Structure 1
Amino acid sequence: MRKIFTSLFFLCVLLTGLSSMAQVKTVTGKITSSDDSGPLPGASVKIKGSTTGTSTDSNGSFTIQVPSSSAVLVISLIGYKTQEVTVGNRTTIALALASDSQQLEEVTVSTALGITRQAKSLGYAAQTVKSEDLNYNHQPNLVNALQGKVAGATISSTGGGPGQGASIRVRGVNSIDPNISGDPLYVIDGVQIDNSTSTVGANPGGNSYGSRGVTNRASDVNPEDIETINILKGGAATALYGLRGANGVVVITTKRGKQNGIQVNFNSTYGFENVLISPKVQTEYTQGVLGVYTNPPGGIGPAWGPTIAEAKLIDPTHPDKLFNNYDQAFGTGQQVKNSVSLTGGSDAIKFFSSISQLYQKGMMPNTDNKNLSARLNTDLIISPKFKASVNMNFTNSGGYTYAADRFGEGLAYFSPRYDVSDYENADGSQKYLGTNNPIWGTANNKLKGDVNRFIGGASLSYDPAKWLNLSYRFGIDTYNDNRVRTARGPMYTGEAMYDNEQGFYGEYNTKFRTLNSTLVATFTTKLGEDITGTLRLGQELYDRRIKEIGTLGSILGIYNFFNLTNAGVVTLSQNLREKRLVGYFGEATFDYKNYLFLTVTGRNDITSTLPKENRSFFYPSASLSYVFSDHLKLPSVINQAKLRLSYARIGKDASEYSTFTGYSPYGSLPTGTGGLTIASNLGNPDLLPEFTNTYEAGLEMSFFKNRLGFDFTYYYSLSQDQIIQTQISSAVGYVTKSINAGDIRNRGVELVINGKPIVGK
């Protein structure tokens, strides 16, 4: 009996265990967004009442083992409403999460190399500007549209006229050399683009011909095509971009298609602009000690000149009032823009296309700008593991520009006795009244630009396994900039010509092309129960070529016939600059229980602009994000609190040919033939890379259901071995030389305060 009882006991225990094991089952599923049915990577999937959980992969898929059919899964993701679902008899679960309006500030953001990460995981400062904020004032230049919206960024317009350039300085000046651009790197949908300002044709004959304002290439991008702009500020934020991101990075994400049928949007705007504040001028006393009214017999009159009434007694032609020529010179600027967009998609393909036309008439006389832009963004889902995208943007822009500072200088010299807007005699010559009329200059010394630009990119993404993603992106930015400079010559001897000299005609062309190629392998795995690790390894190639050609014909035979055959002297110019950069990089990120995040990066760049023995250099970075509101129990009014720390070392190279001593064309030989002479720059074969160490600490907090929040940042950077072009004694046969000399220390604080005092239902 004892043996029978013992056998029955063990049989019951075995059956009970088998019953428990039978209840444990594997559940797979996919989490998508209810907005566009797209997959949601990084969503948390946990078993309610336990610590067991997982997260979705890049396709939104997950796999989890549940103890029983009564288990409840809790699915959550920042920016979306949390949902709970009972497993029941299902082994596959498909769920769409709805957006949470109270968490929209915490959606994922696009960081370096197009990597999308949760905002709370970032250990550095990054600020996002959304489309509705960017286009609130319908500013046609996207750089100007960022004014007042980004902490730590100084944004200024370089000319003020229509289509003229604007620049950004992120966290101050980082270089002593004024010839080195301090602009950040611009990236549109993963394609690194150019925002340089070409001065070809702007000042062809030196100051004697007068300088003219020019555009920079950020003005080619249509702000209405932009979904978000993310400004990466610190060294840790831009480390993966290498030396090209040393001044910060402006990451631009354009609009994409959605799976909600075909939508057509048309937008038409008209705007005008006037000078907000002009200098105040006195209106009681007329021209001073050098005027014709202040030289009575026997001596010099008072320095402030006579009153208007006294002047009219001496000269009946004197006007009844003085002119404020700042008001007289500037008119009302106009802006007309029409745009139409078409968007749509299905499960396999999504697209966004747009076309826009812009015309601007400047406040300065005889200035304008036109811009025609077309865009097509396409996303393809070839298979669940294979995706592709293609982006194309074509722009034609141009118009007449003028230098605003030159115009303002002319107004300062002009006497208020005369109306500056009355600038021309009946024969077209200038009404010269002791000083040149700046409006006559805008009408008779012109620079017209015409730019055709294409920005294109293609990317491929392949998931051979759940833990591995391979991606490749290729981008091209190319434009052809044609400029024509015209200034008529004198009709008769002694005619006042301002800065036209004897008249001139110039044709200038800039061909610009950059290629960038990026290959990235991403490995993701669980390092124990609480830690998720991600490793990225990649290689990048950047290649740039700029060719500039100019022909200037001066001393016109027929004063208003603009043709090179009409020029007495023809001067040719040509310039070619090439640069190549190869980078190898790695990034490791660690996520501990979704509240502590560590990111470590390393990059090695090889640049063509430094000596062979110094052209390869390595620099690391590290950043930490601690979301202590998800770790500690805080008062209920606090929704999120995050502390972040980061360190980075950034490398920078030199301008092209700084290490090379070459030759320059020489066309003033007595024989009339051309030749060569030594270049003005003495090459430095010992030039070293420039390095900057950056440190950053920040605190982010939000309160009252995210209706109030702040972001505080302290940063410090020290740049050493600055690469500067310095003047040297001409006795050595050269004028300049690039050397490593000088340090720059840069530190400051940034504070961003967000508030929503009133929220509508």
Structure 2
Amino acid sequence: MIRKILILTPIMLLCVLLTSAQTHEVTGKVMDSAGAPIPGASINVKGERKGTSADASGFFRIPVAENGVITVSGVGFAPQEINVRNQTSIAVTLVASDRTLNEVVVTALGIRRERRELTNASQTVDGSLLNRSGTGNALSELEGKASGLTVINSTGDPGGGTYIRLRGSTSITGNNQPLMVIDGVPIDNSINNYDPTNAGFQAGGASGSLTGGVQPTNRGADINPNDIESISVLKGPAATALYGIQASSGAIIITTKKGGAGRRTSVTLNSSVTWDKVSQLPPLQTLYAQGTDGQYSPPEEGGSTSWGAKIDTLSWDGATDYPFDKHGNIVGRSDPSAKIPVTPYDRYGDFFKTGLTFNNNVSLAGGNDNSGYRLSLGNVNQSGIIPKATYNKTTLSLSGQSRLSDRLSTSAAINYVHSTNYKVQQGSNLSGIMLGLSRTPATFDNSNGYGSDAYRHKDAYQFPDGSQRNYRGGGGYDNPFWIVNNIPTNSNLDRVFGFGQADYTVSSWMTLTYRLGGDVYAQNDKTSYDINSGQFPAGALYNVGYTNRQFNSDFIVNLHKNFSEDFGGSVILGHNYFTLNQNNVFTNGNGFNVQGFYDLSNAQSIQASETQLRKRTMAFYADAELNYRKMLYLSITGRQETSSTLPAANNTFFYPSVGLGWVFTELNGFNNHNWLSFGKIRGSFAQVGKDAPIYALTTPYT
């Protein structure tokens, strides 16, 4: 027996050595034709069950026999077979496939999958489509580019807000906008619009909205469209269940452009100029002059109606000292002083102008063997169709990735945004532009003879004594040129957002990822009403400061395994922690001592208040995907979430989803038919919801 063991032992050792000699580890990198890494690319040994995925920098490692063949494929790229032979290090360049390029979808948590694998509703918009009109607003550019996506541009004013809705509303009183995610990190897309009348800031007997007449900018407008590689629109609850309560109204997943390791340095310059003009306006009557019952009433009498004498029966007397019209007083044509027949003024044409938008961006990208970078600087300078209305946004972004070892790679990005916005009142109040324009009689010239250049001439809207020149003798609705000069709203923003990420490859089938992202901004809005303004004759000032800080942390375990040539699958396990801190300060000054000085030190009375909002959520989540012959797909997700806005005894809830997809064109009967290249039947079930607003469950004292 001992003799047999002694004989067999060397033989077994020799077999082990021979086997070891026939298999060796191969490391490599997967890139596109431009040298950028392809994260998540699949690497499989042909004829075997061995397989792995490329990390965030495109690197991989896999054991292969000396004469083995590996198949490398990536979402949106044509697969490639490589005979390894005795190589230990290889570089793989994949070519984009026209057939599959439009099938790439970035799903929840930044996972890239082919469209055929999805069992839920989603759609991808290429980044090149987001800057064609040159508006500089990525969200407004989404209009008409995805089904079920409604884009509402609140106004044509520079910097106006853009409201997005997916498949209708999901809440009667809450937020119905989808979650905004950039490179795996949720960011804020709030529309900050504080109305003092709803918080006790009632002044001067005013009613209605005080600052609501100014259209605020949503924070999604801070994103530079030139930095966007693609946008995935996740529509149904099954597609967004992994994001939990934050994505109860859907999700907009933004993937930004990045440099690539081994990529040659390149400089890209984009510039565009666009013009804006008013397309439609409500018609105004031009038959009757100011007054009532067919009798003309001059502006100094303060009349508000425009049903006086017919204009074709009136003339100007040519008086040069009449303050309300350079043509003189209006009299009947039979009057001895009549000189020039009255013609209706063009109230719209004298006010609106052609808007201009200049959009410029320059980027620098490159890298070496193990790292890559991209630097981008952009500017949007917009002047609107309303005089003095302007919006200026400057963005600076820096991103990079580096492979520190065969197993560890890192990536990070930081973005800085600075914007200034000069806005004018448009709401339904005495100081609203459209009310002042549309109610002005055809016989009163708001521009005082200056036309569209009147906003540059103070005597067009203000008399030397500081009173207002308008069609009601200084009262009632404001002169539109008074509004753009004496009722300014200035908005300033500074914002920083970004992320840092580390990926560690444990084995060919396991990757660990940790990602930390943050979004911090400070926004200040200041609206002033000068003395003699219609809404606040005594003058008023409203100063609102918003500070927002939110941080998001994800730890993800990604498992990927091909069980056989027919079966494959992946499992994702993760933990999420989210924290939100908001601090809002509101200050109101009433009654100015000096006209034209918009400062709290000039106010006779001052009121102030402050609100602080805090929220935290924590969640564990899982995603499992199983496929059979690339034809039948099963997807199951679950998220267990805890929210600080709910009662402590009942603040945890579970969000499940399940989906099934069948690509029936993979059946043998469809192989030889060109009339149907792709067909899939899918169905899904999901359960999602929303938690309570911050502090909604508390009883405040008033």
Q: 1:201·1:550 contact (CA, 8 Å) conserved in 2?
A: no
Q: 1:37·1:96 contact (CA, 8 Å) conserved in 2?
A: no
CA distance in structure 1 between the aligned counterparts of 2:196 and 2:396, rounded to whole angstroms: 28
- Other structure's SS at 2:698 match: coil
Q: 1:291 to 1:483 in 2, by over 3 A?
A: farther
464, 471, 475: which one aligns with 1:433: 471
Please tell me whether residue 268 in structure 1 is matched to residue 301 in structure 2: no
CA distance in structure 2 between the aligned counterparts of 1:611 and 1:55, rounded to whole angstroms: 47
443, 446, 449: which one aligns with 2:491: 449
Partner AA of 1:456 in structure 2: G
Aligned partner of 2:531 in structure 1 is 489
CA distance in structure 2 between the aligned counterparts of 1:251 and 1:271, rounded to whole angstroms: 28
Matches within 5 A, 1:729-740: none
CA distance in structure 2 between the aligned counterparts of 1:140 and 1:64, rounded to whole angstroms: 48
Aligned partner of 1:757 in structure 2 is none
Aligned partner of 2:141 in structure 1 is 145
CA distance in structure 2 between the aligned counterparts of 1:162 and 1:291, rounded to whole angstroms: 41
Pairwise CA distance, 1:96:
2.6
Pairwise CA distance, 1:213:
2.4
Aligned partner of 2:189 in structure 1 is 195
Q: 2:517·2:553 contact (CA, 8 Å) conserved in 1?
A: yes
Q: 1:505·1:554 contact (CA, 8 Å) conserved in 2?
A: yes
Q: 1:159 to 1:76 in 2, by over 3 A?
A: closer
CA distance in structure 2 between the aligned counterparts of 1:58 and 1:261, rounded to whole angstroms: 21
Aligned partner of 1:253 in structure 2 is 255
Q: 2:43·2:53 contact (CA, 8 Å) conserved in 1?
A: no
Please tell me whether residue 467 in structure 1 is matched to residue 509 in structure 2: yes
CA distance in structure 2 between the aligned counterparts of 1:40 and 1:193, rounded to whole angstroms: 23
CA distance in structure 1 between the aligned counterparts of 2:220 and 2:437, rounded to whole angstroms: 30
Post-superposition CA distance 1:682-712 (Å, at most 9, x none): xxxxxxxxxxxxxxxxxxxxxxxxxxxxxxx
Pairwise CA distance, 1:130:
1.2
Pairwise CA distance, 1:392:
0.3
Post-superposition CA distance 1:169-226 (Å, at most 9, x none): 110111112xx22111111112211111112477664646733222221121111111
- Other structure's SS at 2:666 match: coil
Please tell me whether residue 115 in structure 1 is matched to residue 151 in structure 2: no
CA distance in structure 1 between the aligned counterparts of 2:693 and 2:340, rounded to whole angstroms: 57
Partner AA of 1:449 in structure 2: S
Please tell me whether residue 660 in structure 1 is matched to residue 698 in structure 2: yes
Partner AA of 2:411 in structure 1: S
Please tell me whether residue 244 in structure 1 is matched to residue 279 in structure 2: no
CA distance in structure 1 between the aligned counterparts of 2:339 and 2:692, rounded to whole angstroms: 62
Aligned partner of 2:6 in structure 1 is none
CA distance in structure 2 between the aligned counterparts of 1:432 and 1:39, rounded to whole angstroms: 64
CA distance in structure 1 between the aligned counterparts of 2:653 and 2:488, rounded to whole angstroms: 46
Q: 1:605 to 1:26 in 2, by over 3 A?
A: same
Partner AA of 1:408 in structure 2: M
Q: 2:416·2:497 contact (CA, 8 Å) conserved in 1?
A: yes
Q: 1:201·1:485 contact (CA, 8 Å) conserved in 2?
A: no
Q: 1:529 to 1:336 in 2, by over 3 A?
A: closer
Q: 1:355 to 1:201 in 2, by over 3 A?
A: farther
Pairwise CA distance, 1:309:
2.0
Q: 1:127 to 1:324 in 2, by over 3 A?
A: farther
Q: 2:40·2:112 contact (CA, 8 Å) conserved in 1?
A: no
Q: 1:409 to 1:174 in 2, by over 3 A?
A: farther
Q: 1:375 to 1:274 in 2, by over 3 A?
A: same
- Structure 1 residue runs of 5 or longer lacking an equivalent are 1-17, 296-302, 491-496, 664-677, 679-761
Please tell me whether residue 341 in structure 1 is matched to residue 378 in structure 2: no
Q: 1:559 to 1:37 in 2, by over 3 A?
A: closer
CA distance in structure 2 between the aligned counterparts of 1:643 and 1:46, rounded to whole angstroms: 31
Matches within 5 A, 1:84-233: 84=81, 90=86, 94=90, 96-177=92-173, 180-200=174-194, 205=202, 207=207, 210-211=210-211, 212-233=214-235
CA distance in structure 2 between the aligned counterparts of 1:26 and 1:165, rounded to whole angstroms: 60
Please tell me whether residue 364 in structure 1 is matched to residue 364 in structure 2: no
Aligned partner of 1:610 in structure 2 is 646
Aligned partner of 1:409 in structure 2 is 435
CA distance in structure 2 between the aligned counterparts of 1:349 and 1:73, rounded to whole angstroms: 25
CA distance in structure 1 between the aligned counterparts of 2:669 and 2:116, rounded to whole angstroms: 17
- Other structure's SS at 2:437 match: helix
239-248 vs 366-375, which moves further = 366-375
Partner AA of 2:480 in structure 1: P
Pairwise CA distance, 1:323:
3.2
CA distance in structure 2 between the aligned counterparts of 1:319 and 1:444, rounded to whole angstroms: 33
Q: 1:161·1:363 contact (CA, 8 Å) conserved in 2?
A: yes
424-433 vs 465-474, which moves further = 424-433
- Other structure's SS at 1:409 match: helix
Q: 1:171 to 1:307 in 2, by over 3 A?
A: same
Aligned partner of 2:311 in structure 1 is 308
Q: 1:513·1:546 contact (CA, 8 Å) conserved in 2?
A: yes
Pairwise CA distance, 1:633:
3.0
Q: 1:526·1:532 contact (CA, 8 Å) conserved in 2?
A: yes
Post-superposition CA distance 1:337-377 (Å, at most 9, x none): 33221111112111111112222112112211111111001
- Structure 2 residue runs of 5 or longer lacking an equivalent are 1-14, 299-305, 316-330, 449-459
Pairwise CA distance, 1:95:
6.1
Pairwise CA distance, 1:455:
0.4
CA distance in structure 1 between the aligned counterparts of 2:596 and 2:175, rounded to whole angstroms: 38
- Other structure's SS at 2:99 match: helix
Aligned partner of 2:411 in structure 1 is 389
Partner AA of 1:611 in structure 2: P
- Other structure's SS at 2:210 match: coil
Q: 1:188 to 1:78 in 2, by over 3 A?
A: closer
Pairwise CA distance, 1:254:
1.0
- Other structure's SS at 2:314 match: helix
CA distance in structure 2 between the aligned counterparts of 1:516 and 1:75, rounded to whole angstroms: 33
CA distance in structure 2 between the aligned counterparts of 1:352 and 1:72, rounded to whole angstroms: 34
CA distance in structure 1 between the aligned counterparts of 2:373 and 2:341, rounded to whole angstroms: 64
CA distance in structure 1 between the aligned counterparts of 2:681 and 2:339, rounded to whole angstroms: 73
Aligned partner of 1:353 in structure 2 is 375
Q: 1:105 to 1:661 in 2, by over 3 A?
A: same
48, 53, 56: which one aligns with 1:57: 53
Partner AA of 1:151 in structure 2: S
CA distance in structure 1 between the aligned counterparts of 2:635 and 2:153, rounded to whole angstroms: 36
CA distance in structure 2 between the aligned counterparts of 1:457 and 1:317, rounded to whole angstroms: 73
CA distance in structure 2 between the aligned counterparts of 1:53 and 1:506, rounded to whole angstroms: 67
Partner AA of 2:210 in structure 1: G
Matches within 5 A, 1:651-730: 651-663=689-701, 678=702
| Structure showing the higher strand proportion among its residues | 1
Corresponding pairs, count: 625
CA distance in structure 1 between the aligned counterparts of 2:481 and 2:110, rounded to whole angstroms: 48
440-449 vs 426-435, which moves further = 426-435
Partner AA of 2:523 in structure 1: D
Q: 1:606 to 1:86 in 2, by over 3 A?
A: closer
Q: 2:503·2:514 contact (CA, 8 Å) conserved in 1?
A: yes
Pairwise CA distance, 1:143:
1.2
CA distance in structure 2 between the aligned counterparts of 1:319 and 1:27, rounded to whole angstroms: 99
Q: 1:603·1:619 contact (CA, 8 Å) conserved in 2?
A: yes
Pairwise CA distance, 1:255:
0.8
Matches within 5 A, 1:516-595: 516-595=552-631
Post-superposition CA distance 1:364-398 (Å, at most 9, x none): 12211111111001111111211111110011112
Percent of residue pairs identical: 30
Pairwise CA distance, 1:64:
7.8
Q: 1:34 to 1:540 in 2, by over 3 A?
A: closer
- Other structure's SS at 2:560 match: strand
CA distance in structure 2 between the aligned counterparts of 1:202 and 1:222, rounded to whole angstroms: 32
Partner AA of 1:263 in structure 2: S
TM-score under structure 2 normalisation? Answer: 0.82
Please tell me whether residue 623 in structure 1 is matched to residue 653 in structure 2: no
